[in-house]
Amino acid sequence: MNCWAACLGGCSDKASREHLVSESLFPEGEILVQGFPWCKDEPKRIGIAGLTAKILCTRHNNDLSPVDEAGANAFNTLREVGRLGEFRLKYKPRQWRIAKFRIDGPLLERWLLKTLINICCDQQYPIGRESNVAGRPTDELVRVAFGLDPFRGRAGLSVVVRIGMNLRFENSVMAVTLLKDDHVEAAAFLFYGFTMLLFLHPEGAPPRLDGIRVAGEDLGNCLQQFHCKKFQGKMGHYLSHVVRIDWP
């Protein structure tokens, strides 16, 4: 059984044809992917229906259903934030009624990890610095993905921002895998216009992300907010909306 969660034991005897990125997120059924040898310099648009692989058994795939649901909820929340911003930009700035949104941080973090493992599974690079098997995650990362252990230290999710950042509210996810010493070390996700970094190692990401570009944005010019708890949107000089990310 070619299940990347086999280290947990209890695999079912049937393989699931897993969508590498949750199908429910994309009504248009496409994703932008970048970072592999065949799409290193520019993103490639791939149909979700064809982006499947037998990389999880049915039991472990079903165990991750709450994570898929959380990813869809976070994506839909950010979609609504983007739509609100686009709508209010059409009008003269005013004292807006402040819209409030919430996202479950740990479940979004686990969805990003699951997605990173899915798209790197059975590729040429080990997933995580301690992995010595090409295309496979460490046991520790598997346990984190299934909610059995938390990320250690400053591993996990950061929001990447800068003042004046150009937000592209496209109904897609772009995943840019980041390599070091021929291992998958992190990934940058463009998630409906919002840039997020998932770093896999406890020391956390370097202070600057020089040379890393996502959708034309140089992340070396941006700030990282590890386990960001809140971000706000303004239309003109007036507060429009607040998104809270809940962490333990």
pTM for the model stands at 0.88
Given this model, what pLDDT does residue 221 score?
A: 83
Nearest 5 degrees, angle CA 77-CA 120-CA 168? 35
Rounded distance, CA 110 to CA 108, Å? 5
Given this model, what pLDDT does residue 190 score?
A: 82
Q: How far is CA 173 from the centre of its chain?
A: 8
> Parallel, antiparallel, or unpaired for β 156-161 and 223-226?
antiparallel
Given this model, what pLDDT does residue 29 score?
A: 60
Containing 62, the helix (H) or strand (E) segment is helix 58-63
Given this model, what pLDDT does residue 174 score?
A: 75
The list of the chain residues with pLDDT below 70 reads 1, 19-40, 46-52, 163-172, 215
Given this model, what pLDDT does residue 214 score?
A: 75
CB atoms within 10 A of CB 96: 17
Number of helices followed by number of strands (H, E) in the chain: 4, 14
Distance between the two ends of the chain, CA-based, in angstroms?
35
7-46: b or e for each residue (b if 16 or more CB lie within 10 Å)? Answer: ebeebeeebbebbbbbbebbeeebbbbbbbeebeeebeeb
